[in-house]
Amino acid sequence: MGHSAGKSLICVLFFMLVLGGTVMAKETAKIGVIVVDVQGDFTKFKSGSLAVEGTDEAYIKTVEENTKKLKAAGFPIYATQDWHPKNHASFFTNHPGKKAFDVVKLNNRDQVLWPPHCVQKTSGAEILLDKKLFKAVVRKGMDSQYDSYSGFQDDGGKKTEMDKLLKKDKIKKVVVYGIATDYCVRATALDAVAAGYKVIMIKNLSRGVAPDTSQKAIDEMKAKGIVVLDDLDLERLKAN
């Protein structure tokens, strides 16, 4: 082999290694976004049956604008959607003599009894963001006997399709935000960590039921290695 041919071969091999490494790095760092339960019944904007403080029209617009930024930057977006049957065991109306927010034992767990919310095929169950933003919508809470705060599984341990979708798309890191910080955002983020994903939670794109339980949830997430950012920052998402 001549000197020039050998040099050319070395250059080709070098670029293959560099480009291959870049591709692998991109794949390793591939980020997905999970938007949790931005549905009518959880918002003040729609006078929902289980409306969380701070979920007015301005909040919904902020979430949509930031989600659009993420989509424009190439991040695949997944939504979770509470999708309960009318006879769901978490509804206080299905427990004679009980009232909203009572706590009962259900399947050996403490169960908060909620007002009926996000009932299948009702306007309160509708996601309030542009549906074209989402690569997939993962429904949860469909088993009448189990609540489902997490987008990954219900309280009985039955898995949703979330993990399969993320793995199929080679996602290694997830960004999580939505409603509510101290319930479904917390549970989804913690289950994502348990499933092996790096997790970033965006605080100001989320709203919690109560300040004390929301702070406790944020502390718990941080203790599990979840990065909590106050605001969306595309560069910090890639860096963390």
Query: Which residue numbers are catalytic?
Result: 37, 140, 184
User: For the purposes of burial, counting CB atoms within 10 Å of the CB of 55, is it exposed (0-12), middle (13-18) or buried (19 or more)?
Assistant: buried
Which candidate, 102, 124, 98, 120, places its Cα nearest to that of 111?
Answer: 102
Neighbour tally for 200: CB within 10 Å: 24
DSSP secondary structure letter of residue 185: I
Q: Which residues contact 217 (CB under 8 A, 6 or more apart)?
A: 181, 182, 185, 186, 208
**Token representation of residue 183:** 């319930």
